[in-house]
Structure 1
Amino acid sequence: MFYVGVSRYFATGEGVTIYVASGSEESIRNAIPEYFRQGLTLLTPSDWIKAAGGDCVDEYHQSEAEVLKIYLPILWKQIEEIALGREFNLDFFMKYHFNYA
C-alpha cells in the first residue's frame, strides 16, 4: 500500500523538525529516525484528501493535511492525482528543521 507520512516534532529549545516521506509504511519508517516517529501520521492519498476536506475523525490529520496543501503544493497535487487513480512513481522525502531560540 502507498502512504504519505508526516511527522512534526516540537521541543522547547530544540525548535521544530518536520519530516514528510512517501512510499510503503516500512520505507517511511526507515526514512524517519525512530525518535521522530512518535507523532507520525501515515495516510493513503485518498485519506489525505478526506482529511483536507474535514471528513476525518482526527483533527490532527486535518491539520497535517493543511500543512501539506499550503506548504508543499506540488506534493499535494501529486497526492490528488494518485487519489484519482492516476498511477505514477512518487518518491518523496523531506526534513525541515528550524530553531529561533
Structure 2
Amino acid sequence: MFYVGVVRYFATGEGVTIYVASGSEESIRKAIPEYFLPLLVLLTPTDWLKAADGDCADKNHQSHAKVLQTYLPKLWNQIEEKALGRDCLLNFFMKHQFNYS
C-alpha cells in the first residue's frame, strides 16, 4: 500500500520540525527518527484528498492536508495524480526545521 506520512512537532525552545515522506508504511517509518513516530500521520493519497475537502473527522489530518496543499504544491499535485489512479513515481522525503526563539 502507498502512503504519504506527515509529522509536525512543536516544542518551546526547539522550534518546529516537519517531516514528509512517501512510500510504504515500512519505508516511511524507517526514514523518520523513532522519537517522532508517535506523531506520524499516514494516509493514502485518496485519504489526503478527503482530509483536504473536510471529509474526515480528524481536524489534525485536515490541518496537515492544508499544509501540504499550501507549502508543497508540486507534491500535492502528485498526490492528486496517485489518488486518480494515474501511475506516477512519487518518492519523496523532506525534513524542515526552524526555530525563531
The TM-score, its normalising length taken from structure 2, stands at 0.98
Partner of 2:31: 31
Deviation at 1:88, TM superposition (A): 1.7
Map Cα deviations across residues 2-54 of structure 1 (whole Å, 9 max, x no partner): 00000001100011000000000000000000001121100000000000000
Between the aligned partners of 2:17 and 2:62, the Cα distance in structure 1 is: 19
CA RMSD of superposed structures (Å): 0.5
**1:12-51 matches, cutoff 5 A:** 12-51=12-51
- Separation in structure 1 between the aligned mates of residue 79 and residue 90 of structure 2, nearest angstrom: 9
Match of 2:9 in 1: 9
Distance in 1 of aligned mates of 2:9 and 2:37? 9
Q: Distance in 2 between matches of 1:44 and 1:12?
A: 31
- 1:35-92 Cα offsets, whole Å, 9 max, x none, are 0112110000000000000000101000000000000000000000000000121100
Partner residue, 1:85: 85
Instruction: Report what 1:98 is aligned to.
Output: 98
Unaligned 5+ segments in structure 1 are none
Q: How many pairs does the alignment contain?
A: 101
Q: Where in structure 1 do 4 or more consecutive aligned residues deviate above 2 Å?
A: none
In structure 2, stretches of 5+ residues that fail to align are none
Task: State the SS of the aligned residue for 2:55.
Answer: coil
**Normalization by structure 1: what TM-score?**
0.98
Q: Percent identity?
A: 74
